Amino acid sequence: MAYSIVATRPGGPEVLQKKETEVPQPGAGEALLRHTAIGVNFLDAYFRSGLYPWSVESDLVLGSEAAGVVEAVGSSVGNVSPGDRVVYTAPNGAYASHRVIDAKTLVKIPDGISDEIAAASFLKGLTAYYLLHGSFAVKEGDTVLFHAAAGGVGLIVGQWLAAKGVRAIGTAGGPEKCALALDHGYSDVIDYRKDDFVEKVKELAPDGVEAVYDAVGKTTWRGSLKCLKLHGTFVSFGQSSGAITDFNISELAAGSFHATRPTLFHFVGLPGWLDKASAALFDQIGSGSVRININQSFDLADAASAHTALEGRQTTGCTILTP
């Protein structure tokens, strides 16, 4: 038997339940995977809570990234074969011991990179790639602000920015998280629990920053705009503190600012983008420029505890589930 973790209805972590199923079989163009490691992301919580719309009435299988071994393939599959180690990202469906998926979405994991590292970093690393190359293309000498610098995406971004010669200012909650971010490429990290990040950014970058990358949302967006230099760019790519509901486009007139709200899967669907972005990510990891920290691991059956820790800001770096 196979099993998955489903959200029986929109709600808190308590709606997550284990559901046994038959091992699925691949059809044309599909591959059957046996999952070995599954990444945990805020995106999963957004779907679980009902903040993002569901594609089914009930029993939604969460999970947006996973690694595993190809067990079987259907007809017309040429990019992967049984026995290959692969990784993928998709909006939902990864919280499962086995899965049938479109083979075109699979990327082979290079030798030297473990399934756990691939599963923990794929969605977050691809997010880092589109933020730094497609949302606001940073260049050497730029100064940017990144909220939640000690999170899974934040730790990857800090190292990638350092490799590019970009000065990264981060925010994090508490001295331990600030120290962690400083160890991962940030030149300065502001403890938002005790300091006003807007005032601190003005001290560190009197003219403002070229861009702010903000996945926090409701509690930070106004301050983020105040940190920008003229013609700066506000990149809103998440809402861990709640959705931004009171934004007016006239807010951008304060500095002729630019604003964008990108979504990963709009990039993944571009021809050739997935291959290019995943190759760049694995190159950064393989070269040692980007270290991946798996600081929390839970059994797949205990996914509710992983969600509780994530939403309670009790995690740093990456979190994985293991079937």
DSSP secondary structure letters along 49-116: HTSSPPSSSS-EE--SEEEEEEEEE-TT--S--TT-EEEEE-SS--SBSEEEEEGGG-EEPPTTS-HH
Q: Over the range 160-170, which residues count as b (16 or more CB within 10 Å of their CB) and which as e? A: bbbebebbbbb
Indicate the SS3 state at residue 253: helix
pLDDT of residue 232: 98
Q: What is the DSSP letter of 186?
A: -
Distance separating the N- and C-terminal Cα atoms of the chain:
13
Q: Tell me how far apart the alpha carbons of residues 38 and 275 are, in angstroms, rounded to a whole number.
A: 20
11 touches 18 (CB < 8 A): no
Is the full-model pTM beyond 0.85?
Answer: yes
φ, ψ of residue 240 to 5 degrees: the values are -65, -25
What is the dihedral angle through the alpha carbons of 157, 269, 27, 6, rounded to the nearest 10 degrees? 50
C-alpha triplet 8, 14, 17: angle, nearest 5°:
45
What per-residue string of b and e applies to 86-112 under the rule 16 or more CB within 10 Å gives b? Answer: bbbbbbbbbbbbbbbbebeebbbbeee
pLDDT tens track, the chain, 323 positions: 899 999 999 999 999 999 999 999 999 999 999 999 999 998 999 999 999 999 999 999 999 999 999 999 999 999 999 999 999 999 999 999 999 999 999 999 999 999 999 999 999 999 999 999 999 999 999 999 999 999 889 999 999 999 999 999 999 999 999 999 999 999 999 999 999 999 999 999 999 999 999 999 999 999 999 999 999 999 999 888 988 999 999 999 999 999 999 999 999 989 999 999 999 999 999 999 999 989 999 999 999 999 999 999 888 888 999 99
Task: Check if the beta carbon of residue 1 is closer than 8 Å to that of residue 97.
Answer: no
Q: Residue 311: its pLDDT value, please?
A: 93
